[in-house]
Amino acid sequence: MREIVRVAGMNADGQAAHRRGRYVDGLRRERAIRDDALAAAFGAVPREVFVADGFRTMDGRWLTAADPDFLVEVYRNDALVTKVDDGVPVSSSSQPSLMAIMIDALDVRPGMRVLEIGAGTGYNAALLAALGAQVTSVDVQPDVVERARRALACAGVTGVTVVLADGYAGFPSGAPYDRIIVTVGVTGASPAWFDELGPEGYGLAPVFHAGGHPILRLHREPGGPPRGRGVCGAGFMTAAGPLGARYPWAHPEPLRSGALPAPTLRRPGRWYPPLELRRYHDLSVAAGAWNSRVTHGGILGEEDVDWVLLDETGAGGAGIARNGAILAVGSTAGRYADQAAAVLDRWEWSGAPEVADWNVDLALAGDPARPVWAPRRWHV
């Protein structure tokens, strides 16, 4: 039964504050929030103001402030889709635990200048401002920019400027920045971002790899090419234009869940209990580092398979379940099951590396006129 927002003796503001407090406690328990300053920011910024025009929940309902469980859903640890175009989500408020991890990795201190690529609802920028940052938030969608500005004003947030502009170019008139944070999935980093960072600055971006968007910390040493370092696994909506360009060594495009038919070959699991979701993400990033055919996707009837080694036909291959079972499909089932087994062996032999254990060499890719620095080689 779905919980209804009713707290005895509280008005709407009191109910929101009550929910917000429980929400912060939950993020602390999950270790997404690890310091008092970040907890205070999440406790002070009213998320409900930034989704006041409504959102789509994880179970597909569209909620507005008039719905009785609006605040319950606002303060779940879930992404909230706020804009849909032809059935495709194009703007959202990201999952709070992921936002907290990214903000923590950004190491923001009062007075820092932060460039945000992708305004979303404005909530992420408001959290950064609550930590004392001066934020310039860039988005290419006029309605998204307008809603973010309106929400920031309604919440009384100062220190944030929302700009209608192409994120590929960053915002050079506000440079140099101490930090850059990208809140939309990209296939690589714009060269302009590195030009706009100060000497000690770095950026965080969800960069396409193995069908997902693991978060990379991006930096450039003087006189050298940019490099990346893993932070955590993630999945994001993908940017349009040059920031979403394909390139020759990219992994196959993600498949919908259950896109591949039921398995024709099955090899037993290796682990009990199965991997936690975070460790399963770690395995998928490693698999993608070692096999260029890894992408997000599922096998019909196999709920514990979220990514696969897709064969050249796009209709077969092998998936790895969270317990280490291998499930293979199609005429290439045996060959791809062997490749999946090799990935599992290598992960175990390598000490089961986490996303944060990986360094990433980047190379220019995409549109030659507007290239991006895309992942080329991953190494522990």
Helix 277-290 and helix 333-349: axis angle, to 10°? 110
Could you give the CA distance from residue 79 to residue 75 in angstroms, rounded to a whole number? 10
Tokens found for residue 169: 């170019």
CA distances from 194 to 146, 198, 295 (A): 27, 8, 28
Asked if 116 contacts 103 with a C-beta cutoff of 8 angstroms, the reply is no
DSSP secondary structure string for all residues of 245-313: ---TTPPPPPPPTT-B---SEEE----SSPPPHHHHHHHHHHHHHH-TTEEE--BTTBTT--EEEE-TT
Active site residue 94: yes
284 contact partners, CB below 8 Å, separation of at least 6: 210, 211, 212, 233, 294, 306, 307
Could you give the CA distance from residue 70 to residue 12 in angstroms, rounded to a whole number? 11
162, 337, 165, 177: which is closest to 263 by C-alpha?
337
Asked if 124 contacts 63 with a C-beta cutoff of 8 angstroms, the reply is no
DSSP-derived 3-state class of residue 370: strand
CA distances from 265 to 45, 287, 327 (A): 51, 20, 6
41, 202, 208, 204: which is closest to 130 by C-alpha?
41
- The C-alpha R_g of the chain, in whole angstroms, comes to 21
Asked if 311 contacts 260 with a C-beta cutoff of 8 angstroms, the reply is no
52 contact partners, CB below 8 Å, separation of at least 6: 65, 151, 154
Q: Which amino acid is at 18?
A: H
318 contact partners, CB below 8 Å, separation of at least 6: 265, 308, 309, 326, 327, 328, 329, 333, 336, 337, 339, 340
| Active-site option among 91, 92, 93, 94 | 94
Q: Which amino acid is at 113?
A: R
Report, as residue numbers or ranges, the catalytic residues.
94
